Structure 1
Amino acid sequence: MTVLERPNFTPDTDPRDVIRWALAQHPDALMPSAFNLNGVVLLDLAVQAGYRGEVVFVDTGYHFPETLRTRDALRERYPSLTFVTLHPAPDAPQDTYADDPDGCCAARKVQPLQSYLRLRAPGALLNARSREQATTRADIPFVEDGGARLRVNPLAYWTREMLETYAREHDLPVNPLYWDGFLSVGCWPCTRAVRPGEDARAGRWAGKGKTECGLWVGENKL
């Protein structure tokens, strides 16, 4: 992507405009999702912006039942999209989340998605990260390059309040755990509710010295 092709987005740019730009640049774009609040909002906005591609979910084998029901509700609500569920390899290690959380994430979440992306080879990924979620995401731009593909963050500047308001106004099927304080829902062994004053991802891998699974940061990032 050349400098001339990069649009002049501002923090007030409508996420749908970011999505439309991404689809014009890369019609083969895909959307990985774990169906958190951000992901549900992004999915709805993407459909409005003309996205008709794949929504790719990695079922690690440790998801909450509420997460799987949220996926199913979204699949029913958006029949124009193709929902793809990936699984770890049969020989992926099991029950290592306590002793080796990094290895568990790598084998059961990152590797299945990486393998699928190598097969599909999309030019861009639409993802739902926002700056307010965690200090590790505080500086993300609308468009990240420098890797195997563009990473497009249409919700980069949206706040939690904006996301919640949008979800309520559009009656979106948000994971019910969110309203119980699970502001970022991952696998059940490594997710707890967020305490007052903590950022949205503080309940992920609490006490394990990490806040990212490895999909978006690190040497194996997407």
Structure 2
Amino acid sequence: MTAVDRSDVHTPEQGGSPLTTKPRAPRAGAGQADRSAPSFGPDSDPLDVIRWALKAHPDVLMPSAFNLNGVVLLDLAVRAGYRGEVVFVDTGYHFPETLQTQGRLAARYPELTFVTLNAGAHPEDGQTPHDLYATDADACCAVRKVAPLQAYLRRKAPSALLNARSRDQAATRADIPFVEAGARVKVNPLAHWTRERLEAYARDHDLPVNPLYWDGFLSVGCWTCTRAVRPGEDARAGRWAGKGKTECGLWAGGNAL
């Protein structure tokens, strides 16, 4: 696998922009719970939530970036009977460790279909200006991450998405319900799981967690816009630090799934 060149990413000591721990942007309003779903409570077993989703939405599919939450959800979903697609968007800026984690997961779960959108993308592929991530992170995410997944979902037209968000990841996610209503139902089986519980599950089941996680990258996105998390910060504080941005646009904003 070709290594990703990170030579143009500079720390403050190297003359780059200083990292920030300023407060995150205000969170969005709470997701609208789907009233047609069962009355799941904080102690509901994610397996029960997934089994309900598989029955209520046989066409459900799972987008994933293979972070800790996503790896745990993959294992739980397989245990619950999920045999569908796991859809990953290659932005061209992923860490090699992320792509290697995808490969390990695909080998571990052959019963799943791993789909890579935008496969082979790279920083000089012409999709965006080479420095767009620095000048307009929202636009970069919109082109390289949100648009490919939205186009795929328009073709597949699933009635529901199985995703790994949890409330303690960030203030923007603090109120998500197990099942969100919308154009597509969003099923969040891990909504009430803490990071400690996720880590324990991953250890107990010997899951192939992205090695960057154990180096403090509690939420791993593109290498251009991700740093390690500092003590006391939320799990997503290392994403787009200092850019006034908290979400890529998949789960919040005008083009949200």
TM range (shorter): over 0.9
Instruction: Look at both structures and tell me which one has the larger radius of gyration over its CA atoms.
Output: 2
The residue number in structure 2 matching 1:114 is: 150
- Given the alignment, which residue of 7, 13, 17 partners 2:48? 17
CA deviation profile, 1:65-112 (whole Å, cap 9, x unmatched): 000000000000000000000018975214210001000000000000
Unaligned runs of 5+ in 2: 1-32
1:168 paired to 2:203: yes
SS in 2 for 1:98: helix
Q: Does residue 125 of the first structure (1) align with residue 155 of the second (2)?
A: no
Tell me how far 1:15 sits from its aligned partner: 0.3
The residue that corresponds to 2:30 in the other structure is none
Percent of pairs identical after alignment? Answer: 77
- The answer for the alignment partner of 2:68 in structure 1 is 37
Amino acid at match of 2:100: R
Cα distance in 2 between the residues matched to 1:22 and 1:91: 39
Report Cα offsets for 1:122-176 as digits up to 9, x if no partner: 0100000000000000000000012x21000000000000000000000000000
Count of residue correspondences: 220
Q: What is the aligned partner in structure 2 of residue 46 from structure 1?
A: 77
Give the aligned residue type for 1:118: R
SS of match in other structure, 2:88: strand
**Does residue 249 of structure 2 align to residue 218 of structure 1?**
no
Secondary structure at the counterpart of residue 92 of structure 1: coil
Q: Residue 166 and residue 57 in structure 1: after superposition, are their counterparts in 2 closer, same or farther (change >3 A)? A: same
For 2:202, the aligned partner's letter is A
Q: What does 1:85-104 align with in structure 2 at a 5 Å threshold?
A: 85-87=116-118, 92-95=127-130, 96-104=132-140
- Considering only aligned residues, what root-mean-square deviation do their CA atoms show, in Å? 1.5
Matched residue, 1:7: 38
Q: Distance in 2 between matches of 1:124 and 1:56?
A: 13
- Matched residue, 1:193: 228
Q: Residue in 2 aligned with 1:141?
A: 177
Secondary structure of the corresponding residue to residue 211 of structure 2: coil
The normalised TM-score by structure 2 is 0.83
Q: What residue identity is the alignment partner of 1:68?
A: L
In the alignment, which residue of structure 1 is the partner of 2:105?
Answer: 74
Shift of 1:2: 8.0
Runs of 4+ in 1 over 6 A off after TM superposition: none
Matched, 1:184 2:215: no
Give the TM-score normalised by the residue count of structure 1.
Answer: 0.96
Q: Which runs of 5+ in 1 are unaligned?
A: none
Deviation at 1:25, TM superposition (A): 0.7
In structure 2, distance between residues paired with 1:78 and 1:109 = 24
Separation in 1, partners of 2:129, 2:142: 12
Instruction: Please give the alpha-carbon distance, in whole angstroms, between the structure 2 residues aligned to 1:216 and 1:184.
Output: 15
Query: Counterpart of 1:41 in 2: which secondary structure?
Result: helix
How far apart are the structure 2 equivalents of 1:31 and 1:82?
A: 10
**Higher relative contact order at CA 8 Å, sep ≥6: structure 1 or structure 2?**
2
**Residue identity opposite 1:158 in structure 2:** W
